[in-house]
Amino acid sequence: MRVHPIAVPDPPLRSSYGLHAPYALRTIVEIESKGGAIGLAETHGAESTAEALRALAKEIAGADPYRLLGSLAAQNGDSPSTGGASIDRSQNYLVPGENPADLKARVTSAIEIACLDLIGKTVGRPVCDLLGRARDEVCFSAYAFYKHAGGGGQGVDTQRDEYGEARTPEGLVKQVQQLIAEHGFEDVKLKAGVLDPDIEIETIRQLREALGPNAPLRLDPNCAWSVETSVRVGKALQAELGNGGYLEDPTASLAGMAEVRRRLLEAGVNTPLASNVAVTSFADLPETIRTDAVQIVLCDPHYWGGIRQAQHLGKICDTFGLGLSMHSNTHLGVSLMAMAHAAACTPSLRYACDTHYPWQSAACEIVKGGRIKFDRGRIRIPDQPGLGVELDYDRLALGRERYTRCGYRKRDDAAEMRKRVDPNWQRTLPRW
Amino acid sequence: MRVHPIAVPDPPLRSSYGLHAPYALRTIVEIESKGGAIGLAETHGAESTAEALRALAKEIAGADPYRLLGSLAAQNGDSPSTGGASIDRSQNYLVPGENPADLKARVTSAIEIACLDLIGKTVGRPVCDLLGRARDEVCFSAYAFYKHAGGGGQGVDTQRDEYGEARTPEGLVKQVQQLIAEHGFEDVKLKAGVLDPDIEIETIRQLREALGPNAPLRLDPNCAWSVETSVRVGKALQAELGNGGYLEDPTASLAGMAEVRRRLLEAGVNTPLASNVAVTSFADLPETIRTDAVQIVLCDPHYWGGIRQAQHLGKICDTFGLGLSMHSNTHLGVSLMAMAHAAACTPSLRYACDTHYPWQSAACEIVKGGRIKFDRGRIRIPDQPGLGVELDYDRLALGRERYTRCGYRKRDDAAEMRKRVDPNWQRTLPRW
């Protein structure tokens, strides 16, 4: 196993966590078989992830990838009866990838995905075929952000600002139109919780007007709102999110989400609530279902323990009448393909997946052949075995150099916000 | 694909369904690849199963077994949101394998298992490794029945009556001791609902005395009791079933089971209720969990849509704090190995699996090398690829001949009861 921490130029995108730093950190994992086949995975960056992966090196050296699939699943002790507890709520509002409570699932995920890629490459099959392909194409959504001016990276890494500043409803509409023109997305997700809720409501209204009646719209303020504000926004946008749209994590905690849901239903608003903050592990599901706190769960093979755990989650959602969508972090092509394969073998996933992929530029891709292209917002599962991608080692080396050079060692959007926008900025929940 | 209906001599075992006929019907499925590898499965017999399998022949001819795994999963439309309904309750008390409502899952299961065997044989891997092995050995339980005198089969097929008659508590104790002496089982399941509940209570008491304090005991009257009787038996046996023991389907319907559970808990009796009659599909799980009707679900890869669906069920049980065990029908070695592999790749299965296997004799086994042996009640996953068994075609031919000759075309334990024991016998629920 080889573990490569890399840094990727990232533009100044805003969320309720703060501001994206000029570099996003990722970790590339290679597991090489005796026969010379190489299984790949990409996961969260940060020193802690690379260390946790390296700590498993002894267990992986000489192991059989098929047997690792079994022992990894057993390590996903996140269900009540296997002794795993629900993830510590007090840590739950850290930026994604920085919660120590879900480190284990993030690490086992990466190893599972690399093993699946290795097995697929060895037997000559796409990963989704190993696990039961349900579709050939996977839909992704346009992920729109309030954004400061500037591209990703610093100094020699500075990227062209392809999308420009977007800090008004009009700016967001333009950004979304540009994302759609370039990639063909049919669904739109707006990262909210950044500006006053009335401005964000107005942004959704203008998006609806600009995009016509069919595009499903999602709004995700990452817990920035009180129950009161969540209900107010839910009512205001009742007619605007459209069929297939949803309100994601408007407020913090399952109890808060359940309260929002109850009050929206009382007001006759049936907009589903989605979550990847209140629900982050299997242990969260019983209460989620009992209290109707969430109607759509966002899986993410990087977080939930791997692609097969995402399949389990899909079956649970299907069984209990919940919808399933997919969460994304800043990522490159290996993760994009892992997400596409996970979606392709999870039949109950019927929402377009989130992806940050359009926010990275061609200069930083580390897969051979460069950036993977969306066709009408979709990724078609390639005929190549495994995940269908290989590493470009020159470009990987550039990513490692950037990591060494950039100085960032963990994600801290609040610190970045203080550094570049407001020296007194703190993440307070609820903000509105 | 080749479909072989076979008949297997079966001794006169009793249950609340009636009496086992002299022949049990099974269907053996072979799927042969272009390269000449053969994937095997064994499933329920009866004309209807063979016909339903043959109806899929066109879909299977020329198909890729990996792709079949995907399309079969999609056909398991038994979840509320995929349009599948819960299985028709009015049909639910037919003998296992004769409910038209679960025919589809039985058929897709057989094809899934044959595809997994074929893939395993092609890539040189045991089936449980393809799906994530969680253990190397699988525990089975001693399955004890009230039994009339006589072995299985008729005429030339007549088998020696290895176990003799057992229609009293003492007879059952002797039978269980013989099963344990021969196979080393550590758990015991008594098929009940046959004699007066007080005699069955006494049977359990004598079993507990004979076996010492540790053996987990299970009691399964297949819905023969009223809520009242179920509660009475549950109270009477509070101290007798032991750690790991349970009461299985004492009464009919989820509502009945929930009522029994509520009343037992009120009386301070925490004996878990298990089910494979009230809960037979994913669509049954939400109500089961909401009403606490069942604490242990019996999976069966033959019924639930295959081994991967059994894995999903295992994850659901784990997530919601339910236990998972495994149901059995009369079966031969191919099914035994499918059950062993399913259990081996389902980490939350922590109860010994049921098996009827000891009730069949060496003469009727159709796998090469003859009967598979239990070691201390366990099956060790063999190193051979796939399920680890191949067909003995001479013995398969004998099974087909028996099928042609015996005249039985579907399972009807009530008709057999009328024919051989009591011409007026009817299955009435509750009987007590």
**pLDDT for A234:** 98
pLDDT > 70: percent of chain B:
95
A345: contact with B, CB 8 A cutoff? yes
The pLDDT tens digits for B183-199 are 999 999 999 999 999 99
> How far is the alpha carbon of A14 from chain B, nearest alpha carbon, in Å?
35
Nearest to A319 among B73, B286, B321 (CB): B286
Find out whether B220 and B193 touch, Cβ atoms under 8 Å.
yes
pLDDT > 70: percent of chain A:
95
pLDDT band at B71; cut points 50, 70, 90: confident
pLDDT band at B172; cut points 50, 70, 90: very high
Look at B375 and A98; give whichever has higher pLDDT. B375
For chain B, give the mean pLDDT.
94
- Check CB contact under 8 Å for B70 and A286: no
Find out whether A18 and A417 touch, Cβ atoms under 8 Å.
yes
pLDDT band at A345; cut points 50, 70, 90: very high
ipTM of predicted complex: 0.95
**pLDDT for B81:** 47
pLDDT band at B82; cut points 50, 70, 90: very low
**pLDDT for A46:** 82
Q: Which amino acid is at B327?
A: H
Nearest to A130 among B66, B79, B128 (CB): B66
> How far is the alpha carbon of A296 from chain B, nearest alpha carbon, in Å?
13
pLDDT of B95 over the 90 cut: no
A373: contact with B, CB 8 A cutoff? no
- Check CB contact under 8 Å for B316 and A321: no
pLDDT band at A105; cut points 50, 70, 90: confident
Question: Mean per-residue pLDDT for A338-356?
Answer: 97
pLDDT band at A270; cut points 50, 70, 90: very high
Instruction: Clarify whether B191 is annotated catalytic.
Output: yes
**pLDDT for B75:** 65
Catalytic option among A302, A327, A331, A356: A327
B136: contact with A, CB 8 A cutoff? no
Neighbouring CB atoms inside 10 A of A31's CB total 23
- Check CB contact under 8 Å for A66 and B133: yes
- Check CB contact under 8 Å for A70 and B312: no
Query: Which residues of chain B make contact with A129, given a CB cutoff of 8 A?
Result: 64, 66-67, 69-70
Residues 6+ positions from B99 with CB-CB distance below 8 Å: B87, B88, B91, B92
Burial code of A361-382, b = ≥16 C-beta within 10 A, e = fewer? bebbbbbeeebbebeebbbbbe
The pLDDT tens digits for B144-171 are 999 999 999 999 999 999 999 999 999 9
* Main-chain dihedrals φ then ψ at residue A93, nearest 5 degrees: -110, 15
CA nearest to A69 within chain B: B132
The pLDDT tens digits for A173-193 are 999 999 999 999 999 999 999
pLDDT of B73 over the 80 cut: no
pLDDT band at A89; cut points 50, 70, 90: low
Which residues in chain A (71-100) have CB-CB distances under 8 A to chain B?
72-74, 79-82
Instruction: Clarify whether A20 is annotated catalytic.
Output: no
How many whole angstroms from its chain centre is CA B393?
Answer: 25
pLDDT band at B80; cut points 50, 70, 90: very low
Taking alpha carbons only, the member of B332, B297, B339 closest to residue B315 is B297
B377, with CB counted inside 10 A (0-12, 13-18, 19+), is buried
pLDDT of B5 over the 90 cut: yes
Which of A79-83, B257-261, B395-399 has the lowest average pLDDT? A79-83
The pLDDT tens digits for B284-314 are 999 999 999 999 999 999 989 999 999 999 9
- Check CB contact under 8 Å for B70 and A132: yes
CA nearest to B323 within chain A: A81
Neighbouring CB atoms inside 10 A of B231's CB total 22
Could you give the angle at the alpha carbon of A317 between the alpha carbons of A27 and A334, nearest 5°?
A: 20
**pLDDT for B99:** 80
Query: Would the CA dihedral through A113, A117, A122, A128 be positive or negative?
Result: positive
CA nearest to A79 within chain B: B319
